[in-house]
Amino acid sequence: MYKILVVDDSALMRRIICDIINADSDFHVADVSADGEDAYNKIKTTSYDLIVLDMILPKMTGLEVLKRLSADKVPFNVILISSSLKEDADSTIKAIELGALDFVVKPIRSTPETREVFARDIMNAMKACIKTVSIRKGVFPKSEVPKTPAQPVEFKSSPEPAKTSNVSFSGADGSGKIKKIIALACSTGGPQALHTFVPMLPSNLPVPVVIVQHMPEGFTASLAARLNQISSINVKEAEDKEVFKPGLVYVTPGGKHMEIYENASHQPYCHLSDDPPVNSLKPCADVMYRSLTKSTLDEIICVVLTGMGSDGSEGIKNLKQYKKTYVISQEASTCVVYGMPKAVEQGGLSDEVVPLKSVANSIVKKLGG
pLDDT digits (tens, 9 = 90+) for 221-241: 999 999 999 999 999 999 999
**Which of 317, 284, 282 minimizes the C-alpha distance to 302?**
317
Three-class secondary structure of residue 346 per DSSP = helix
Q: Is 20 helix (H, G, I), strand (E, B) or coil?
A: helix
pLDDT band at 139 (very low <50, low <70, confident <90, very high): very low
Selecting among 82, 222, 311, 358, the annotated active-site residue is 311
CB 275 within 8 A of CB 285: no
Q: Give yes or no on whether 2-136 and 161-366 have one common fold.
A: yes
Using alpha carbons, list the distances in angstroms from residue 196 to 145, 244, 280: 10, 23, 27
Q: pLDDT for 315-344, tens place per residue?
A: 999 999 999 999 999 999 899 889 999 999
Answer yes or no: is pLDDT of 254 > 80. yes
> Is the alpha carbon torsion for 348, 300, 207, 337 positive or negative?
negative
**Where does residue 245 fall: left (phi above 0), alpha (psi -120 to 50 degrees), or beta otherwise?**
beta
d(CA 83, CA 109): 11
- CB within 8 A of 171, min separation 6: which ones? 161, 178, 179, 180, 205, 206, 207, 246, 367
- The reported pLDDT for the residue numbered 225 is 93
Residue extents of the structural domains in the chain: 2-136, 161-366
Name residues whose C-beta falls within 8 Å of residue 119's C-beta, 6 or more positions apart in sequence: 20
Report the chain's C-alpha Rg in angstroms. 21
**Is 195 a known active-site residue?**
no
- Concatenating the DSSP letter of every residue in 86-150 gives HHHHHHHHHHHHTT--EEEEPPSS--HHHHHHHHHHHHHHHHHHGGGHHHHTTPPPPSS--SSPP
* Tally of helices (H runs) and strands (E runs) in the chain: 12, 14
| Marked catalytic residue, from 33, 70, 157, 187 | 187
Q: Write the single-letter amino acid at 170.
A: S
Per-residue pLDDT reduced to its tens digit, 146-174: 333 344 454 443 333 332 333 334 555 55
Annotated active-site residue 187? The verdict is: yes
Q: Which residues contact 191 (CB under 8 A, 6 or more apart)?
A: 93, 96, 213, 215, 223
C-beta of residue 9 within 8 angstroms of C-beta of residue 34? yes
Q: What is the DSSP letter of 369?
A: -
Q: What is the DSSP letter of 304?
A: E
Q: Which of 38, 214, 231, 313 is catalytic?
A: 214
pLDDT given for residue 114 in this prediction: 85
DSSP 334: G
Active-site annotation holds for 102: no
Residue type, 120: R
Return the minimum-mean-pLDDT range out of 121-130, 219-228, 273-282, 288-297: 121-130
Answer for the pair 182, 249: CB distance below 8 angstroms, yes or no: no
How many Cα atoms occupy the beta-carbon half-sphere of 228 within 13 Å? 16
Q: What is the pLDDT of residue 176?
A: 66
Q: Average the pLDDT over 274-280 and give the result.
A: 93
* Residue 63's pLDDT band (cuts 50, 70, 90): very high
Nearby residues of 302 by Cβ (< 8 Å), 6 or more positions away: 182, 183, 184, 185, 289, 312, 316, 319, 325, 326, 327, 328
What pTM was computed for the model?
0.84
The matching CATH number, chosen from 3.50.50.60, 3.30.565.10, 1.10.287.130, 3.40.50.2300, for 2-136 is 3.40.50.2300
> Can you say whether the dihedral through the CA atoms of 327, 215, 15, 45 is positive or negative?
positive
- Range with the lowest mean pLDDT among 67-71, 110-114, 194-198? 110-114
Q: What is the pLDDT of residue 175?
A: 56
The architecture CATH gives domain 161-366: 3-Layer(aba) Sandwich (3.40)
> What share of the chain has pLDDT > 90, as a percent?
74
